Amino acid sequence: MHLSSLHLTQFKNYARLDHVFASHLNLIVGPNGTGKTNVLDAIYFLCNTKSAFLPFDLSAIMHEKDFFRVEGHFVEKDKQVKVECVCQKEQAKVFLVDGKSPERLSGYIGRFPVVLVSPYDTDLIREGSETRRKFFDLVLSQANAEYLEKLLVYNRLLKQRNALLKQMAEAGKLNVSLLSVYDDQMLPLNQYISNERNLFVKSFLSSFQKAYGQLAVAAEEPQFQYRSECVNEDFSFRFLRNHQQDLKAQRTLLGIHSDDYDFLLNGSAVKRFASQGQQKTFVLALKLAHFHFVSNIRKKKPLLLLDDIFDRLDENRVFNLAQLVNAGTFGQVFITDSTPKRIASLFASENKEIATFNTI
């Protein structure tokens, strides 16, 4: 599977873009601020039906325009598949695969899997638990459609239950019968999602540690752990006994939406004790493990988007990553860099199928 071409209209800084890609390695070069990352985000949009960086689709519309269009042509088992998306102000998003709307966008996720590595990835370490949950949920969702469906249902029920708690708090009265309608639906979902997350960590950890070892020169011991109250035997009892506390807080306090993942290096918290280089290596290893996990489940290699990977990685770790790319470990790879000579010296001499796109 690979992306053969990309066509943009009024997407971010591109009034128009038409570009053909190599099936193996694509180097996207140009000065900072010329739209290298925007090309990757357009590819990500085609794969995951949304931007990797913007919370709202309409934010990707070019300044002073009223719509954008993203179109890509994927090659899958010698068959070409056309994927296009149009977002227009005051209209619903149109997403088409070979001219037809998917029955559910959530069902489309994973059809063309993608893994994006960006300088913002260290937010996984620095930011709160929601950022980490979103990352691992994305990995699981690309590999398991049922997980995504149940997660979406849970999030909808959680929003409705929280709205109900707020109404009850304003009225000064707890209605257990109404809450029970949501409790009965959310408890099985809590059990399913936490169980899937727990099983996932056990299978994902070894792949992550292997990826870290391929990148790092020093002998370091990376680890991460899943932390959830939902895996405890008394969770259902505690959830149902927590109505008064929920009412006081005006939100649901217990559940999979409070889960977290602890990142450790040599037994210590990565956030507090790891260097910037170690933190960057840690999240890069997570992304490479993401690649291998989805590849094994889906039996197809995701597109790998590497945005400004040279930032904060020392020469040895950059070289080790380049060796993995040059060895054909991945499928189709897209790499951005502001220094053409640097990127060419690492990749151009060892790969035959290379396309270079200059953003100026």
Half-sphere exposure of 124 (CA within 13 A, CB side): 28
Rg, Å, the chain Cα set: 22
The pLDDT value recorded for residue 350 is: 53
Q: What does residue 358 show for φ and ψ, rounded to 5 degrees?
A: -100, 125
Q: Is 193 helix (H, G, I), strand (E, B) or coil?
A: helix
Q: Parallel, antiparallel, or unpaired: how do β-strands 260-265 and 268-269 relate?
A: antiparallel
Residue 75: strand pairing partners: 2, 80
Question: What single string gives the DSSP state of each residue in 256-292?
Answer: GGG-EEEEEETTEEHHHHS-HHHHHHHHHHHHHHHHH
Q: How far is CA 207 from the centre of its chain?
A: 17
Q: Tell me how far CA of residue 95 lies from CA of 72, 92, 105, 276, 302, in angstroms.
A: 12, 10, 8, 39, 20
Is the distance from CB of 337 to CB of 27 less than 8 angstroms?
Answer: yes
Minimal CA–CA distance to 347: which of 56, 27, 82? 27
Q: Are strands 333-337 and 303-307 parallel, antiparallel or unpaired?
A: parallel
Looking at residue 210, its pLDDT comes to 93
Going by C-alpha positions, the residue among 236, 251, 314, 284 that lies closest to residue 119 is 284
> Which residue positions in the chain have pLDDT lower than 50?
none
H-only helix segments in 18-88: 36-48
Contact 235, 189 (CB under 8 A): no
Specify the pairing of strand 14-20 against strand 2-11: antiparallel
Ordered domains of the chain (ranges, CATH): 1-113+304-360 (3.40.50.300), 135-299 (1.20.1050.90)
Residue 173 vs residues 95, 167, 177: alpha-carbon distances, Å: 44, 9, 12
Give the count of beta carbons closer than 10 Å to the beta carbon of residue 133.
18
DSSP strand pairing (222-227 vs 260-265): antiparallel
* pLDDT reported for residue 356: 87
pLDDT, tens only, 238-271 = 999 999 999 999 999 999 999 999 999 999 999 9
**Token pair 């996932």 is at which residue?**
200
N- to C-terminal Cα distance for the chain?
Answer: 29
pLDDT digits (tens, 9 = 90+) for 71-86: 999 999 889 999 999 9
CA–CA distance, 194 with 281 (Å, rounded to integer): 27
**Cα angle vertex 314, ends 310, 317, to 5°?**
85
**Long-range CB contacts (< 8 A, 24+ apart) of 356-360?**
356/26, 356/27, 356/28, 356/29, 357/19, 357/26, 357/27, 357/28, 357/29, 357/39, 358/29, 358/30, 359/28, 359/29, 359/30, 359/31, 359/34, 359/35, 359/36, 359/39, 360/30, 360/31, 360/34
8 A C-beta contact, residue 4 and residue 21: yes
